[in-house]
Structure 1
């Protein structure tokens, strides 16, 4: 089966195609959908050889059956046949096979007639399935908030008569998020209980007005 599969794929290079496909498109499909590729081969002979080939391809152990085709994102299908096979049979074979793929799948097909084909009709296909995206590693956990510092009281009435009242000042709460940036994945540098990877102004709770 492996030898037949390689023969079918390499035919894209040496064979004279009856139904051609763009090699650049084939390369793009294999490049962008190659997370999990499966090689399948199906052969047939006789008056209903193309139907046999389609059925044999679907039931190929490496393909995984009709349900597996339903989850195919992209496929490259080549059909090899002997010189006495009608072009109409080749087209019916490829059309029948394409009907098993989901509408969203990108399916590229090519067909050629050659005396090198052992079977009357041989279907070779590379099925590409994208694995489900793995769960992303957890985002960088938010750093623990800085310890609360005493909020200076708003200036009240000054003692004694004849003194002006001082306007109240809105104090800044120490709620600034601390980010370790490029040091987030390295071991912390702790000295006297302080993480030196955190900028000093953040460790000291100093507010910097960066403007609007």
Structure 2
């Protein structure tokens, strides 16, 4: 067992909160939190926020009580630490082809930038370009940012400076009057290929599903 919990020292919403994390596996962390009765919505990319009254139960189930500094050190050393800015919400995290991928709801896409795709919702679903990709923006214009995918790879020791390469791929809404280029097709939101796409959590929120 490598689930960690720190002291409940963080006040919010009239309660005191602790952090529940793992220094080996997010799958282990999700399973532990679910067994503890913590909702998935409390997941913050690399930890769960848990109320003070659950800390003793977490320890009884095998979580290791540690100081906050120790928790951060071990999560960072494991490569599971997720960078996050104010106003961002991590909706999902996965490992794809050896790279760490976070899907983040946010109002802007931080640098360094990768690709930017338009989420165009229609009555038939979402418009996709060839190969099941989101259409790229066509022309200038003010676009609303729904969020982004952060893909980062580590080389060597996670604590070594310069060992992490990061790219952000944004998900945008079309600017007023903007239309995607020709060659797109409408695909239902419940299509398995769409549901497996990295941007699906953001599209689902936008569609109200």
TM-score range, shorter chain: under 0.3
Q: Which has the higher strand share?
A: 2
TM-score, normalised relative to structure 1: 0.22
TM-score, normalised relative to structure 2: 0.22
Which has the bigger relative contact order, CA under 8 A and spacing at least 6? 1
